[in-house]
Amino acid sequence: MATFNDARVRPANDHKIRPGQSYVLYWMQAYRRFNRNHALDYALHWARHLKKPLIVFEGLRMDYPWASARHHQFMIDGIIANTAHATQAGIQYWPYVETPEQPARGLLTKLAHDACLVVTDDYPAFIVPGQIAALASKSECAVHAIDGNSLVPLKLLGLAVSACAHLRPRIHKLVAEAWQHRAVKEPTFPTGPKIDPPFQLAIGKHLPKVADLPIDQKVKPIDGIVGGVVAGHAALKNFVRHKLPRYSEGRNQPDDPAVTAASGLSAWLRYGHLSIQEVAEVVLGDGWSPEKLNAGARGKREGYYHDDPNVNSFLDEAITWRDVGYHWHMMRNAERGVRNAEWTTVDGVKVPLFHDLASTLPAWAKASLDAHAADKRAFQYTLAQWEGADTHDPLWNAAQVELMATGRIHNYLRMLWGKKVLEWSATPQAAYVVLEHLNNKYAIDGRDPNSYTGILWCFGLFDRPWPPERKVFGNVRYMSSDNTAKKYKLAGYYEYVRKLKY
């Protein structure tokens, strides 16, 4: 624990640690792996200090918003990989997959009843903050949430910012020290008495089949995309070997993912099967140390982490831009409290909603969009048309098909995809509801802080006013399919999409 930074710890209630109980419980919610995991390190420390067994509980419910075969299968792939690791390392790992015959209600409270301490991941978005708050209020056990979201503890980054450029200097100032406080690469696990779980472990023949569960079976698992730590490591290795050397110039070119230089790592990062720490370590290489940071480039986009522009460009995206979303969500939770999903109806379809534009956008963006709320839209589409890729725009349709079929949209086209929904919706709020629903339903990396801030960027969050003032957009940044076609060669992308099946 000598390298652990206490700024990562957030007590979720005022209860004391109870040394007389049976075990320390690590509730693995967001960072579903046994390596480079700050919350796991913290739980192991207390297990050793209290001389108690460590129990690792990884649960998967059926009722989370946008629950589908796609999301479920990716997480179950991770459970399978974690089971193999736990068996080899001697970890008391309790994987649980909810079924109608084995409901989740009350299970976690029951596990916490016998715990000295519950440790969990302080992931700042989707259902995780609400789940932490619920357990902390119901349980008599201390619940400690651990920020394992990035290299730098988010608490140390100060107040929320309105632009990436404002957060970058804060990260640069702290990254060298944070590098010395990284999570343990391969932790060792103490031996202790074996404890029998109060439910049937989701292992082997007792691991439910996704196709048998009452979740959305129409959003299917993605062929060739496997969740879990092993697959995440393989994706990282492939990126560093084949794509990183051309990342700076090639990441924005839409094309087949096998061709483009985009990393494709977001799904494994989203589910915690891959650590941003490991990504940075592998990209920087074994010979790198904080002494190689370029002090003269502190606060600048180029040249700070590495003199290779490909490495530096990638790390600015993977650390700075990623931290913008995580930091904004954590500060928002601290200021406004936890927001659980509300429900709204779009064209007769009931959909979850975690944010609303009125309380999220900067004043200039809200005022500009409000001033143009009555502008005539050249096109308007129903949710069924959006979801069915049935618009007048071939490029937008192609991006939507890619999302439905593969769970991803090329990074540059995702921005265009969002801007067009704003342009062709009756109101900005209606556009936001559609985007949150489509992204979180289909994107394998959806329901993540970066998904939300990426969508909200389309409406002006983390951006600045852009002249000239336009219809619908006002001074919010405008993007067009025609300009995209002039900027990039799209023949390869269209050919790739034509081959997709959904």
Sole residue written with tokens 């230089």: 261
Which CATH number is 1-148 given? 3.40.50.620
Q: What is the CA radius of gyration of the chain?
A: 23
Coil, strand or helix: which one is 431? helix
CA distance 141 to 119: 10
CA distance 263 to 283: 11
Coil, strand or helix: which one is 185? coil
Q: Which two tokens mark 111?
A: 């596990």
CA distance 124 to 402: 28
Q: Which two tokens mark 267?
A: 């799904």
CA distance 315 to 37: 20
CA distance 70 to 210: 9
Helices (H), strands (E): how many in the chain? 19, 8
- Which residue type occupies 41? D
| pLDDT for 1 | 43
DSSP secondary structure, 22-85, as one string: SEEEEE-SS---SSS-HHHHHHHHHHHHHT--EEEEEEE-S-STT-BHHHHHHHHHHHHHHHHH
| pLDDT for 2 | 46
Residue 486 pairs in a beta bridge with: none
Coil, strand or helix: which one is 343? strand
Alpha helices for 388-502 (secondary structure H): 394-406, 411-423, 428-442, 449-457, 481-487, 491-498
Sole residue written with tokens 């390869």: 492
Torsion of CA 94, 99, 100, 102, to 10 degrees: -10
Residue 449 preceded by cis peptide, ω within 30 = no
Please list the pLDDT of the chain residue by residue as tens digits (502 residues).
447 899 999 999 999 999 999 999 999 999 999 999 999 999 999 999 999 999 999 999 999 999 999 999 999 999 999 999 999 999 999 999 999 999 999 999 999 999 999 999 999 999 999 999 999 999 999 999 999 999 999 999 999 998 999 999 999 999 999 999 999 999 999 888 999 999 999 999 999 999 999 999 999 999 999 999 999 999 999 999 999 999 999 999 999 999 999 999 999 999 999 999 999 999 999 999 999 999 999 999 999 999 999 999 999 999 999 999 999 999 999 988 888 899 999 999 999 999 989 889 999 999 999 999 999 999 999 999 999 999 999 999 999 999 999 999 999 999 999 999 999 999 999 999 999 999 999 999 999 999 999 999 999 999 999 999 999 999 999 999 999 999 999 999 999 999 998 8
| Backbone φ, ψ for residue 346 (5° rounding) | -125, 115
Q: Which two tokens mark 448?
A: 């993540």
Residue spans of the domains in the chain: they are 1-148, 229-336, 342-498
Longest alpha-carbon distance in the chain: 69
Identical fold for domains 1-148 and 342-498, yes or no, is: no
Q: Which two tokens mark 326?
A: 């995580």
CA distance 468 to 496: 35
pTM assigned to the model: 0.96
CA distance 15 to 299: 41
How far from 464 is each of 157, 469, 477, CA to CA, in Å? 21, 13, 8
CA distance 218 to 205: 25
CA distance 264 to 155: 28
CA distance 386 to 316: 33
The count of other CB atoms within 10 Å of the CB of residue 245 is 13
CA distance 476 to 467: 8
Class of domain 229-336: mainly alpha
Which CATH number is 342-498 given? 1.10.579.10
